[in-house]
Amino acid sequence: MTLCSPTVMLLAIDVGNTNIVVGVYSGETLLHHWRMKTDRERTTDEIGMTCLQFFQSAGLEPRQVCRAIACSVVPPLSFSVERAVQRYFGVDLAMVGPGMRTGMPILYDSPREVGADRIVNAVAAYERVRGGVVVVDFGTATTFDCVSTAGEYLGGVIVPGLQVSLDALIQRTAKLPRVEIAWPPRVVGRNTVQSIQSGVLHGYVALVDGLLERIREELEFETDVIATGGLARTIASRSKHIREIDPLLTLEGLRILDDRTGSGKS
């Protein structure tokens, strides 16, 4: 049994295709969060030692962690993360997946197909608005996840992420240069770099807003829209429909599920 310090903390880990996001909660307060690049070859010890370095930089001790929860969309890393938490923090890791009591009905043809991060985001968003909501997660893929006014996960939309789209364009064209993801001074570019930036960024905002309009028409009930993910601020700032941005929504969803499943009460 782990001997916890008086400051009982929750370790929350979001294993994504691009980054692994690590957060530490005391109660409902997110004390610190960090990111490490996702590497499918990363070992248990590499993950554990990196997390210990994060803790050291924040003046925290591993023994302060009494609970841990994670979601992962990278199966090869899930076992390594679980072992790292057990070995370096001395607690068992609750992994979000089939069989976990999320409190949210999944109205998908095959509920097991829904990524764990999408369910976690949906739980966090509904808890916040207590009504119909769409979560737009700007990650390696951009996902739109819809929740009913009754708190049911209805389904969603998956499109290639902004960076993935840009990378594909550059890789498949011989003469187009690699460009920074940055807003150009105008829609009509005056050079190749500006033209690519305009197409990728203005085009992506149009894609997001267009899909949100069609989603809202189909749902036939009022919805809030919350954006999350690494590129949320870049795109959402120009969107006509996104009103709230929370890059750490997934960590908050993990905290809520930790409390909801009972592990937070032990």
* Residue 198 near residue 225, CB atoms below 8 Å: no
Assigned domain for 227 exists: yes
Q: Give the total number of structural domains in the chain.
A: 2
Q: Which of 44, 68, 95 is the last residue of a domain?
A: 95
Judged against a pLDDT cut of 90, whether residue 174 lies above it is answered with no
* pLDDT of the residue at 98: 86
Q: Which of 42, 68, 95 is the last residue of a domain?
A: 95
Angle at 108 between CA 104 and CA 111, to 5 degrees: 70
Joined tokens for residue 75: 């199966």
Q: What is the pTM of this model?
A: 0.91
Judged against a pLDDT cut of 60, whether residue 215 lies above it is answered with yes
Judged against a pLDDT cut of 80, whether residue 13 lies above it is answered with yes
**What CATH number does the domain containing 193 carry?**
3.30.420.40
Judged against a pLDDT cut of 50, whether residue 265 lies above it is answered with no
| Run of H or E residues at 5 | none
Please state the length of the chain.
266
What pLDDT, in 10s, does the model give residues 62-82? 999 999 999 999 999 999 999
Rounded Cα gap, residues 245 and 235, in angstroms: 10
DSSP SS3 for 148: coil
Assigned domain for 266 exists: no
Q: pLDDT class for 243, splitting at 50, 70, 90?
A: confident
* pLDDT of the residue at 6: 47
Point out the residues that are catalytic.
117
Rounded Cα gap, residues 32 and 59, in angstroms: 11
45 is in which domain, residue-wise? 9-95
